[in-house]
């Protein structure tokens, strides 16, 4: 059996490429990342836009710096500024509205690039206008500083270098400033009415287009604060108002006012209800508990500064008068003014009160004639002589007690110390009623009881004169 003889030479295999070193691997990675980054940037829209702008800039720079051929450019809506408006104002005229013009300019590219609606100046002199309505004025186009007019030519539209403007007649008018309150006062306080506003100045002057000025009727100051406890004072802005009550915007009307603010005082006062009373003095057979007072108003509401209102509240009431019951009759009606200090206001408006007096008991009034009259306090060196011998006195009380009164119960005294010199005088008399009992139910009615008295010098009676004859002897 034959056997296959194997060769002793080694069997050959495929050769692997050598591995790159660390440095080679690092450089290759960096290049790969760089290529990837460049590819991503160059494929983006932002890159393409930036490249386009740079190319355009350099093309423009080359074109403008090198070209000397004039070119044209249309420029629209260039604002027009007016000169000579002060002359118009003296004539009570005003340009209405804002105006623009559109033109075509021609210049070399390096100059043309600096011309637009913001760098060109268009002016029109209106000092020659003498009336209102639509007027035609010429305008001038001026290049920006640093560019000569000779370097720029202007091509105008169909109207040439003229412009049609609307001219309105102006006017000034004095209008009244009024106040309006739309807020509220706190509890225990009272805000004034619109007529209570005090405004300075109370008139302002508005100026503008005649038609617009005539739309204005008032300048209105509005106070809208709530829960007020103090009078409002200060400088306030105002609004213009039409005759129909519509608010007018000054800017839209194109009018100006002589004042921006006005000084305003609007009253807010504390209020309180205060009782009214009448003080009674016992007399004429009456005491306060025996009469009834019917008053047309038993209280009023007062207003004023907080301190003044608190002070009158502390007193408890307002006293109308003090009445001596000896001077009134049953059913008599008395009228008294309501007294208030200057720092308080009568909010109720009740200026006077009528008081009707009614007696609880039936009393009779009688007239007694008395001669029980005496002079007192006669000055030294004088003597009195009563000219009035009998005086009528009115006394009021229950009839059963009046029946018992006699002349002896009535004493009339005349104080002669006041005249003090010789003469005849009518002097007020003091009447006293002397009763053993029931003094509080009977009384003299008040009246100006007068007694006529003559004061003379006191002349003492002469003493008897002594005789010189000797007494005769008697047997």
List, for residues 159-171, the tens digit of each pLDDT value.
Answer: 788 999 999 999 9
Residue 361, pLDDT above cutoff 60? yes
What separation in angstroms does the CA of 172 have from each of 127, 243, 255? 21, 17, 9
Biggest CA pair distance of the chain: 253
Tens of pLDDT, residue by residue over 410-429, are 999 999 988 878 999 999 99
The token pair that represents 343 in the structure block: 């720092």
| 364-457: in CATH 3.40.50.12780 | no
Q: What is the DSSP string of 214-279?
A: TT--EEEEEE---SB-S-EEEEE--EEE-TTS-EE-HHHHT-EES-S-EEEEE-EEEEEEEEEEEE
Options 3.20.20.120, 2.170.120.40, 3.90.1660.10, 2.60.40.180; CATH for 170-266 is 2.170.120.40
- What is d(CA 177, CA 194) in angstroms, rounded to the nearest whole number? 12
Examine the pLDDT at 328 and tell me if it is beyond 70.
yes
- pTM of the prediction? 0.57
pLDDT (average), residues 185-191: 95
Q: Is the CATH number of domain 273-359 2.170.120.40?
A: yes
Two tokens, residue 96: 């209405």
What confidence score (pLDDT) does residue 30 get?
65
Q: Where are the domains of the chain?
A: 71-160, 170-266, 273-359, 364-457
Q: pLDDT value at position 276? A: 97
Predicted local distance difference test score (pLDDT) of residue 185? 95
Mean of pLDDT values over 233-237: 96
Is the per-residue pLDDT at 111 higher than 50?
A: yes
Q: 470 falls in which pLDDT band (50, 70, 90)?
A: low
Q: How crowded is residue 144: how many other Cβ atoms within 10 Å of its Cβ? A: 14
What is the C-alpha to C-alpha distance for residues 326 and 332, in angstroms, rounded to an integer? 12
Q: Are 384 and 320 in contact (CB under 8 A)?
A: no
Q: Could you tell me which CATH class the domain 71-160 is placed in? A: mainly beta
Among candidate residues 396, 223, 257, the one with its CA nearest the CA of residue 326? 396
pLDDT of residue 8: 37
* Cα–Cα distance, 186 to 191 (Å, whole number): 9
Query: 185: which 2 tokens?
Result: 């006062």
- Asked if omega into 201 is within 30° of 0 (cis), the reply is yes
What angle (nearest 5°) sits at the alpha carbon of residue 152, between those of residues 150 and 156? 120
Question: What are the tens digits of pLDDT across the range 255-299?
Answer: 999 999 999 999 999 999 999 999 999 999 899 999 999 999 999
Token pair for residue 126?
A: 């209106």
């Amino acid at each position: 059996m034959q056997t296959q003889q194997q060769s002793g030479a080694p069997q050959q295999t495929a050769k692997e490429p050598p591995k790159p070193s660390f440095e080679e691997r690092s450089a290759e990675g960096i290049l790969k990342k760089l290529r990837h980054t460049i590819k991503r940037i160059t494929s983006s829209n932002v890159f393409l836009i930036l490249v386009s702008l740079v190319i355009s800039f350099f093309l423009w720079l080359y074109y403008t710096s090198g070209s000397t051929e004039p070119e044209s450019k249309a420029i629209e809506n260039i604002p027009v500024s007016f000169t000579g408006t002060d002359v118009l104002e003296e004539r009570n005229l005003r340009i209405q509205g804002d105006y623009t013009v559109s033109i075509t300019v021609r210049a070399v590219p390096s100059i043309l690039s600096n011309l637009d609606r913001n760098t060109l100046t268009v002016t029109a002199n209106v000092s020659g206008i003498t009336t209102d309505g639509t007027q035609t004025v010429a305008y001038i186009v001026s290049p920006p500083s640093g560019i000569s007019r000779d370097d720029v030519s202007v091509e105008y539209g169909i109207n040439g270098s003229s412009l049609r403007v609307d001219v309105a007649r102006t006017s000034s008018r004095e209008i009244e400033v009024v106040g309006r309150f739309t807020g509220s006062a706190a509890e225990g306080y009272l805000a004034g009415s619109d007529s209570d506003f005090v405004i300075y100045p109370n008139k302002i002057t508005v100026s503008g287009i005649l038609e617009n000025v005539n739309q204005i009727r008032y300048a209105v100051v509005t106070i809208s604060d709530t829960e007020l406890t103090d009078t409002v004072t200060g400088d306030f802005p105002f609004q213009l108002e039409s005759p129909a009550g519509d608010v007018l915007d000054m800017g839209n009307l194109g009018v100006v006012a002589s004042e921006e603010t006005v000084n305003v005082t609007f009253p807010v006062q504390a209020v309180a209800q205060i009782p009214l009373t009448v003080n009674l003095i016992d007399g004429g057979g009456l005491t306060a508990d025996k009469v009834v007072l019917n008053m047309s108003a038993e209280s009023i509401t007062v207003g004023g500064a907080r301190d003044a209102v608190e002070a009158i509240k502390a007193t408890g009431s307002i006293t109308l008068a003090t009445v001596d019951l000896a001077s009134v009759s049953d059913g008599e009606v008395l009228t008294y003014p309501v007294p208030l200090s200057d720092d308080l206001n009568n909010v109720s408006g009740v200026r006077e009160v009528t008081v009707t007096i009614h007696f609880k008991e039936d009393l009779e009034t009688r007239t007694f004639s008395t001669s029980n009259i005496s002079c007192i306090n006669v000055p030294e060196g004088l003597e009195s002589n009563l000219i009035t011998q009998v005086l009528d006195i009115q006394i009021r009380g229950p009839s059963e007690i009046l029946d018992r009164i006699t002349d002896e119960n009535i004493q009339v005294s005349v104080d002669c110390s006041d005249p003090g010199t010789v003469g005849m005088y009518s002097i007020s008399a003091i009447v006293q009623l002397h009763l053993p009992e029931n003094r509080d139910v009977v009384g003299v009615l008040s009246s100006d009881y007068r007694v006529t008295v003559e004061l003379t010098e006191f002349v003492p009676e002469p003493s008897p004169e002594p005789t010189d004859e000797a007494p005769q002897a008697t047997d």
